[in-house]
Structure 1
Amino acid sequence: MTATAATSEGAAPTPTPPPATPAAASFVTKPWPVALGYIGASIIIGLTQGLAQGFVSTNIPQVAGDLGITTTQATWLMAAFMIPRASMPLLLIKIRTQFGLRRFAEVAIFIYLAVSLAAFAISDLRSAVLVQFCAGMASAPLSTLAFMYMLEPLPPQWKMRFGLPMVLAVVATGPMLARVISPALMGDNGWDGLHYMALGMAAVSLALVYALPLTSQPRVKVLAAADLLSWLLIAIGFGGLTVSFVMGSIHWWTDTEWLGWTLALSIVALTVAVVIELHRKAPLLDIRWLASPAMLHLTVTLLIFRLVLSEQSSGAPRMFQVLGITQDQLVGLFGVISVASILGGLALVPFMKAERVPLFHIIALVLIAAGAFMDSHATQDTRPAQMMLSQAMIAFAGAFFLAPAMMRGLLAALARGPNYILSFVIVFLSTQSLGGAMGSGLFSTLINHRQALHLQVLREELTAADPLTTAEIAQRSAALAPQIADAALRRAQAVAQIAQDASAQAYVMAYNDAYFLTFLVAVAALAALLLHLFRDWLAERMKPLFAAARPHPESDI
């Protein structure tokens, strides 16, 4: 997943360049039909990976019904898919370097196709969890391949400016696009419809990988036994954190003993990995550089932003589910979100420069704060059409933030040498993968806590002595008279309806609290960024004054 992995050195010159203008000629290093083929392959492979992730998280209730299990049990499928995603790319980068990019691409896509075929053998929860874990491992290289194919036909000046924002936007669009096409795919075939789609995408990706080979760089033996040990410890740590945050809000943190042990094991594994890496001459990760102020600042920035973006993946879809909105009714909303993500990547292309990164981040934080504030006024009557603008703003901001942040990190790594790219990549991947799991878990935890609080307050207000409550019960009982003859049953049904409405109202109020907290975090991050920029500006302005006030060496003679 590095911007340097597909350099212009391997791009063969073309004897008959087809572009008609100098500007067009400088945009690609291959003939236009071939270049468009590589870009199209990148889009297909990126969507294949994104759809695989989105199919699981989007259809948990439907999958639970197909397998005859509870929704809580089905959530393990999402956890199993996410566990290897945070750590696998770290090892894959070294595998790619040692065994060659071309072989890596062919083997990776073939394994993914085999796993897609294995999905048809799922018969129970255990087989489903095993297949999803393998799918998570097999799909991890696809993000890398999407980057490689997007960057392959582009000259160096366009790799960061066009390739990086576009491939990030495509990868981010995949899970949202899964919500658009899932209802049509599920139909009467259930989960098999999703398997057929995943298998078809994998087959197309396999054909593209073999038809459009990537330019291989010289192989270098970089894997060592200590690398495998460090990676295993990091994988255990990241996997434990993923499971804890995915399942924590479901089983509740303080009620389940194994959650605490899982978190403790994760911390111990990561601590041991850090100790080992600090004492190696050729470490897998440069911990000292990662702990530098600049990298810590970038890491915290990426993590906070990923947590804030959880409002989109864990907020609106689940709130509408509580309100009884079906997946079919959410197709339009997530179609708009998908388009907004792509537009966010395209909007960066004309302006993508390293010195403009703070401006991009300011715009992104303003859009997120505005969108979250708009969402915080939801009611039980809110429908998807009323949140299209706010959710589109947040999706646009997501694409507008990630590419400049990754560009800044890659440039910082390249300034110190190619060996530092691997260290940055793990920072970027861990903040995105772990940040996504953490954000979803913390968001759900906050929702559950605030819903219980609001429901308790509403129940205290809905007492039999309250005249408004008594009038509402009487009105609903009268409305039920044509359906239920017994007066006592009508009253009981009316009371049950009011309790159900109170529960839904409590959930909406809880989501509003979460949306407003997202708004506050975005505003706080924006204020911190502006203060940081003001400090840097002030330091630059004060440099001449300090230089003038400093005594010259001649004055001491």
Structure 2
Amino acid sequence: MSETAATTPAAAPAPAPAAPPPEPYDLRQGLLFASVSLLLGITQGLGVNLVNSNLTGIQGSLGATAAEASWLTTAYFATNISASLLLTKVRYQYGLRWFADIAIGVFLLLSLAHLFTQHLASAVIVRAALGLAAAPISSLTVLYMAQAFPPARALTGFMLGFATLQIGMPLSRIISGDLLQNGQWHGLHFVDAGLALVSVAAINVVRLRPMPTQPMFARGDGLAFTLYASALALFCVVLTQGRLHWWTDTPWIGLCLAAAIVLLGLYVMLELQRDKPLVDLRWLASPFMLRFIGATLLFRIVLSEQTVGAVGLMNQLGFTNDQMHLLFMCVTAGTIAGFLAVLPVLPSRKFGRLGTVALVLIMAAAWMDGQSTVLTRPHDLILSQTLLAAASAMFLASAMLEGFLHVIAGGLKNLISFIAVFSGGQALASLIGQAWLTTLLAERQRLHYAHLADGLQLADPLVVQRLAQLGGAYAASLNDGTARAGQALALLGQQLTQQSWVLAYDDLFHLIAAVSALGFLVFAGTHTHRWHRARQAAPASLVPSSS
């Protein structure tokens, strides 16, 4: 090689093209995205809660018993819980716009199909299909709200997207009374169909920005998902029907539980041998995810106090949704306030403290509700239920954000698994909490009724006086003394039953307060242990190295 050639520098590589500058944030477009997200969130929330919150009013128009009408709830959750996993993969595989158009179109068709259901069997089939179609609406709600904010504030958008999904529950109880009076079962679904129709127009006018697609499905996914979905569906059947038909009195409940366990075991065995599983079970068994799942289960159980406890107590005392409008409006305000309370914590990302605060609020709310009597009215529960709604929102937001940041730190490779656990786990944990608490209520009511009945003796002067007072109410309409005495005994039995239910609900509230206190001690102990460990490790990091 010549000297000239040796000293000639090598040709420098061509510089990489500069990345295009990000588009400036458009406030008007952001408001449009936020409006569509709010519309989709209310559509999805009302779609599930208008029926679940009004089963008593619906069963009459369908000619069904309470146990038969409960299959409407069972059918919805049996398909909805597992659908999140499948439809998230579909979204990544085929693209966001195609996914949005198909999802909202199917939701509209099924909402219209509700208007033609006249019998329980057809209504259950449509509810099962709607549970599958409603799952993508949740994803679209969050994605629209995320794109309503600048990229640097996307995390705020994700949180507020989840917030809009929570408004449907209290709102459904506020508007459902008039809908049932005007159109019975079909009156509820006129609103669903109308909102779905408006949503179709909205997503076509305000289009989501496209996202890159990637292959998501692998060989064996069909069998794995069949086992996964079947197991979860059977668990839903057990949890929703077991407490109505009673766990030990109905053989098919045990058969469903056994089949669910077998199918879940087969699914786990299959997934552990696959290179690309539907859900990364090994990641779910990591310490962080085990703590996350345990905290989710704890919170969803104690938060069932609102639907099972407070609402159930008011229904037992004879109050309907029409008489609790103010209560549910305050619950809506508490839910919004709880999500807004998370915003100041976003920069520091110390979401664990929010969980501790939420437990304190739940403990206080349950203790206040534990003082209920037969004279308790909906306005007496406003403060406690507003606190409980705020605690629910704070937990949901903090859990979602903490889990999502953990997934981001791992490179987003477990995003699908996290979505499946977070969305499906929330619903399944709620069903577990409701099943446990309603079973506890039934047992405590039976014990309290037996205890109260044992203390009543017809020879007791106080009992005789009470029967005379109750019989006096029929003096103007019944001349027969024996008939008046029979009516008095019937009224006393009704009052005895009502009192036993109130005492059972008080036991439930006290239990939730105790569980919340125990959870608070565990959380506080964990945070204290981490603080001490970090404090002990800090001086060691300041010691100079021997080199």
Distance in structure 1 (CA, Å) of the matches to 2:512 and 2:45: 25
- Conserved in 2, the CA contact under 8 Å of 1:352 and 1:404? no
Distance in structure 1 (CA, Å) of the matches to 2:445 and 2:103: 44
Distance in structure 2 (CA, Å) of the matches to 1:353 and 1:530: 22
For 1:39, the aligned partner's letter is A
Cα gap change, 1:10 to 1:347, in 2 (>3 Å): farther
State the match for 1:532 in structure 2. 526
1:76 Cα offset (Å)? 0.5
- Determine if the alignment matches structure 1 residue 367 to structure 2 residue 361: yes
TM-score by length of 1: 0.92
State the match for 2:385 in structure 1. 391
1:293 Cα offset (Å)? 1.2
State the match for 2:236 in structure 1. 242
- After TM superposition, the structure 1 = structure 2 runs for residues 446-461 of structure 1, keeping only pairs within 5 Å, are 446-461=440-455
Give the 3-state SS of the residue equivalent to 1:419 in structure 2. Answer: coil
Give the 3-state SS of the residue equivalent to 1:86 in structure 2. Answer: helix
State the match for 1:437 in structure 2. 431
Distance in structure 1 (CA, Å) of the matches to 2:464 and 2:348: 64
Query: In percent, how many aligned pairs have the same letter?
Result: 36
For 1:50, the aligned partner's letter is G
1:548 Cα offset (Å)? 9.3
For 1:446, the aligned partner's letter is L
- Conserved in 2, the CA contact under 8 Å of 1:86 and 1:238? yes
1:223 Cα offset (Å)? 1.2
Deviation per CA, 1:354-382: give whole Å up to 9, x if none: 64212211111111110011001110110
Deviation per CA, 1:108-150: give whole Å up to 9, x if none: 0000000011011111111010011111111111100000100
- After TM superposition, the structure 1 = structure 2 runs for residues 43-62 of structure 1, keeping only pairs within 5 Å, are 43-62=38-57
Question: In the alignment, which of 412, 416, 423 is matched to residue 422 of structure 1?
Answer: 416
Deviation per CA, 1:328-379: give whole Å up to 9, x if none: 1011111111121112112222332464212211111111110011001110
- After TM superposition, the structure 1 = structure 2 runs for residues 126-525 of structure 1, keeping only pairs within 5 Å, are 126-160=121-155, 162-353=156-347, 355-525=349-519
Give the 3-state SS of the residue equivalent to 1:220 in structure 2. Answer: coil
- Conserved in 1, the CA contact under 8 Å of 2:84 and 2:424? no
TM-score by length of 2: 0.94
State the match for 1:24 in structure 2. none
State the match for 1:38 in structure 2. 33
Give the 3-state SS of the residue equivalent to 2:351 in structure 1. Answer: helix
Cα gap change, 1:104 to 1:275, in 2 (>3 Å): same
State the match for 2:23 in structure 1. 13
> Once structures 1 and 2 are overlaid, which stretch shifts more, 338-347 or 96-105?
338-347
Deviation per CA, 1:454-494: give whole Å up to 9, x if none: 11111111221222111101122223211211100101101
Distance in structure 2 (CA, Å) of the matches to 1:333 and 1:274: 44
Cα gap change, 1:11 to 1:105, in 2 (>3 Å): farther
Deviation per CA, 1:497-516: give whole Å up to 9, x if none: 01001101111111111111
1:224 Cα offset (Å)? 2.1
> Once structures 1 and 2 are overlaid, which stretch shifts more, 538-547 or 133-142?
538-547
Distance in structure 1 (CA, Å) of the matches to 2:339 and 2:538: 39
Q: Structure 2: give runs of 5+ residues left out of the alignment.
A: 1-18
- Conserved in 1, the CA contact under 8 Å of 2:148 and 2:157? no
For 1:159, the aligned partner's letter is A
Question: In the alignment, which of 87, 92, 109 is matched to residue 87 of structure 2?
Answer: 92
- Conserved in 1, the CA contact under 8 Å of 2:143 and 2:158? no
- Conserved in 1, the CA contact under 8 Å of 2:218 and 2:276? no
1:553 Cα offset (Å)? 7.6
Distance in structure 1 (CA, Å) of the matches to 2:40 and 2:101: 13
Deviation per CA, 1:74-116: give whole Å up to 9, x if none: 0111111111121101011110011100000010000000001
Task: Point out 4+ residue stretches in structure 1 off by more than 3 angstroms.
Answer: 9-12, 544-550
Cα gap change, 1:11 to 1:192, in 2 (>3 Å): farther
1:417 Cα offset (Å)? 2.0
1:202 Cα offset (Å)? 0.4
- After TM superposition, the structure 1 = structure 2 runs for residues 119-130 of structure 1, keeping only pairs within 5 Å, are 119-130=114-125
Distance in structure 2 (CA, Å) of the matches to 1:303 and 1:276: 26
- Determine if the alignment matches structure 1 residue 117 to structure 2 residue 127: no
Give the 3-state SS of the residue equivalent to 2:525 in structure 1. Answer: helix
Give the 3-state SS of the residue equivalent to 1:276 in structure 2. Answer: helix
Give the 3-state SS of the residue equivalent to 1:121 in structure 2. Answer: coil
- Conserved in 1, the CA contact under 8 Å of 2:297 and 2:429? yes
Q: Structure 1: give runs of 5+ residues left out of the alignment.
A: 1-8, 15-28
- Determine if the alignment matches structure 1 residue 105 to structure 2 residue 100: yes
Cα gap change, 1:128 to 1:354, in 2 (>3 Å): farther
Give the 3-state SS of the residue equivalent to 2:489 in structure 1. Answer: helix
- Determine if the alignment matches structure 1 residue 63 to structure 2 residue 63: no
Distance in structure 2 (CA, Å) of the matches to 1:285 and 1:475: 65
- Conserved in 1, the CA contact under 8 Å of 2:37 and 2:142? yes
Distance in structure 2 (CA, Å) of the matches to 1:107 and 1:374: 47
> Once structures 1 and 2 are overlaid, which stretch shifts more, 146-155 or 495-504?
146-155
- Conserved in 1, the CA contact under 8 Å of 2:51 and 2:188? no
1:218 Cα offset (Å)? 2.3
For 1:235, the aligned partner's letter is A
- Conserved in 1, the CA contact under 8 Å of 2:72 and 2:124? yes
Give the 3-state SS of the residue equivalent to 1:150 in structure 2. Answer: helix
Distance in structure 1 (CA, Å) of the matches to 2:382 and 2:182: 29
State the match for 1:20 in structure 2. none
1:10 Cα offset (Å)? 11
Give the 3-state SS of the residue equivalent to 2:350 in structure 1. Answer: helix
For 1:253, the aligned partner's letter is W
1:422 Cα offset (Å)? 1.1
Cα gap change, 1:11 to 1:255, in 2 (>3 Å): farther
1:229 Cα offset (Å)? 1.8
Distance in structure 2 (CA, Å) of the matches to 1:335 and 1:507: 26
The two structures, once aligned, show a CA RMSD in angstroms of 1.9
- Conserved in 2, the CA contact under 8 Å of 1:373 and 1:515? yes
1:195 Cα offset (Å)? 1.1
> Once structures 1 and 2 are overlaid, which stretch shifts more, 312-321 or 201-210?
312-321
Give the 3-state SS of the residue equivalent to 2:532 in structure 1. Answer: helix
> Once structures 1 and 2 are overlaid, which stretch shifts more, 63-72 or 355-364?
355-364
1:544 Cα offset (Å)? 4.9
Give the 3-state SS of the residue equivalent to 1:325 in structure 2. Answer: coil
- Conserved in 2, the CA contact under 8 Å of 1:168 and 1:399? no
1:292 Cα offset (Å)? 1.1
- Conserved in 1, the CA contact under 8 Å of 2:32 and 2:148? no
